Structure 1
Amino acid sequence: MHVGILGPLLISLEGVAGRIDLAPKPRTVLAVLLVNAGVVVPISSLVREVWADSPPASALRNIQTYILQSRKLLSQVSGASKRAVARDLLVTRPGGYLFGAEFVQFDHLTYQELVDAGRADIRQGHCMKGVALLDRALAMWRGPAIVDVMSGVMLDARRHQLEASKLGVIEDLCNAKIAMGRYHEAVADLAVSVCEHPLHEGLHYQYMRALSMSGDRAHALDVFSRLRMNLVAELGIDPSDPIQELQRSILHSSSAGYTALYPPSMGRMTPVV
């Protein structure tokens, strides 16, 4: 069985996706168990995720009903009996429930394996191989993480973690492509991300580098101006020192720092939005 959370919630068997026909609340319960696969999730945590600080008197009974509905869905998708699902897949444990990970492939875990391997190859100087692995990792995303699930604190935190990881991978990938002289590819990779995250200095830093080295200094300086305007308007702060130094280097037509595989630390990073 394959489970996907890097986009809309996905459960498939042998490449055939099963319809996740669950109402919002049981869908949330199932999603919490999926993103915490292999770990017992306390019933209290499930109640808090679904109803925050205002659970109904029937909350415990409702959670039990949602678990039964989830087991029925998993049985339909996997072809296993409900008894087998309750024994091996969505398991009752003292005080909570556990989604077994032994026979399931999760897209976010495969994604992380590709990311770790790609970054290791880049650090060791195998840039072409590392870039290919990071490209594969990013290609696994089908949209915003668990986008079709009503979320509370736990899922919001997990979604933010995954999205922040994705942005970090985009930075590392484009940094390596710039070091390899693939400036135009880096520009294409960053264009959308910079628009979607107008306060993210790391993405803007790499975008400015790629634009400048591809010969578009005017656009690179415009990117800095828009970043500065957004930071001042939204947060009341100026861009960090490294990106201001990059702007000055571009103004003076300097290539200093452009070819380093790992540029200076960005220092203060603005929030991902």
Structure 2
Amino acid sequence: MDIQVLGSMSVRVGGHSVAPSAPKPRQVLALLALHPDQLVPVATLTEELWGHKPPRSARTTLQTYVLQLRDLIGEALAREGKGREGAKDILVTLPGGYRLETGGGSVDFRDFERRAAAGFRAMEAEDYQGATRKLREALALWSGEGALADIQAGSQITMEVERLEEARLFALDQRIEADLRLGRHRELVSELTFLVHRHRTHEGLHAQFMLALHRSGRRGEALRAYQRLHTALLGELGLEPSVPLQRLQRSIRTHSDSVETGGPAATGVRNVGQGPQVAAARVC
């Protein structure tokens, strides 16, 4: 079984899709796909589908959705010349819940996490060429408007999607940091222009934007970027920019030599208002 959730959902057995079209069974499959090879309790699935007020028929209805998914898996197995009864070994019933067995198939978010971790290790080793390459490979696994963009999400899927989106944005932040360390400030300006408009209160991205502009000889634009962030933070969150970001702004204003060395990670800038909306990462 091959699973993709970093965009529209795709769950395939032997190359054949087993994703249903009806919203509720799709939710069940999506939540199972977010926890491959793990038990997903009936209570968790019930909360995802109906919140804290499930109907009396919730358990029976959930069993119906599972049977529908097994039918789709059985059809995919039959196309591969295998027995339909094998569907029970892929979507497994266990005491208290269900488990989706991948059988060693690909899972895109696990691949993303593995590649991103390799990029983070390269950053720690100050191998910025290796870091930007590995992080670009990780981010390239994402597509569209975000994780499970085509799923009607309840509380459980929403929580998992937000976790994945935060991981995506952090990987993007580190990839841009690596590119800044490599002196690619002019190449980054266009991408960061888009990102700071998407994430109006994200201090890390604004620090990177200010540095890229300043190092490209666009000091006035860097200072205006700070002012826009200041206005957004104050208006939307009631906060002043952090002390490290204020220090960066003063350094740019006074042409301090410290602005020309290091990257935003060295400033200790906080990431305020980062949020789960990281569809902008597709521009990387």
Q: Does TM, scored on the shorter chain, surpass 0.5?
A: yes
The alpha carbon displacement at 1:134 in A equals 0.5
Seq. identity, %: 33
Q: 1:254 maps to what in 2? A: 256
Cα drift, residue 268 of structure 1 = 6.3
1:148-167 mapped onto 2 (5 Å cutoff): 148-167=150-169
Separation (CA, whole Å) in 1 of partners of 2:13 and 2:223: 49
Gaps of 5+ in 2: 278-284
- Alpha-carbon spacing, 1:17–1:264, altered in 2? closer, same or farther (3 Å): farther
- Give a deviation string over 1:115-153, Cα, whole Å, max 9, x none: 011111222232212211111111111121111111122
In structure 2, distance between residues paired with 1:107 and 1:189: 25
Residue 39 of structure 2 is aligned to residue 40 of structure 1 = yes
Pair 1:96-2:114 in alignment = no
In structure 1, the partner of 2:117 is 116
Task: Give runs of aligned pairs for residues 117-196 of structure 1, distance below 5 A.
Answer: 117-143=118-144, 144-196=146-198
Q: Give distance in 1, aligned partners of 2:180 and 2:134.
A: 16
1:164-205 CA deviation, whole Å, 9 max, x = no partner? 111111111111111111112322332322222112111111
* Counterpart position of 2:281: none
| Number of equivalences | 271
Is the alpha carbon distance of 1:198 and 1:82 closer, same or farther for their aligned partners in structure 2, counting shifts above 3 Å? farther
Aligned residue identity for 1:194: V
1:237 and 1:77 map into 2 onto residues whose CA distance is 54
RMSD: 1.9
CA distance, structure 2, for counterparts of residue 211 and residue 171 of structure 1 = 16
Asked if structure 1 preserves the Cα contact closer than 8 Å seen for 2:211 and 2:259, the reply is: no
Look up the match of 1:85: 87
Q: Is the 8 A contact 1:257 1:263 kept in 2?
A: no
Query: Structure 2: which amino acid aligns with 1:264?
Result: T
Residue aligned with 2:148, SS: coil
Gaps of 5+ in 1: none
- State the shift of 1:18 in Å: 2.8
User: Larger relative CO (CA 8 A, sep 6+): 1 or 2?
Assistant: 2
Tell me which residue corresponds to 1:67. 66
Q: Given that residues 174 and 189 in structure 1 are in contact (C-alpha distance below 8 angstroms), is that contact kept between their aligned partners in structure 2?
A: no
Could you tell me the TM-score, scaled by structure 1's length? 0.92
Q: CA deviation at 1:19?
A: 6.9
The 1:13/1:62 distance shift into structure 2, 3 A limit, reads: closer
Instruction: For residue 258 of structure 2, give the secondary structure of its aligned residue in structure 1.
Output: coil
Per the TM alignment, residue 52 of structure 1 is displaced from its structure 2 partner at its CA by 0.3
- Aligned with residue 212 of structure 1, among 202, 214, 222: 214
Q: Which residue number in structure 2 is paired with residue 107 of structure 1?
A: 108
Aligned to 1:2: 2
Contact 1:26 1:66 in 2 (8 A): yes
Aligned residue for 2:23?
24
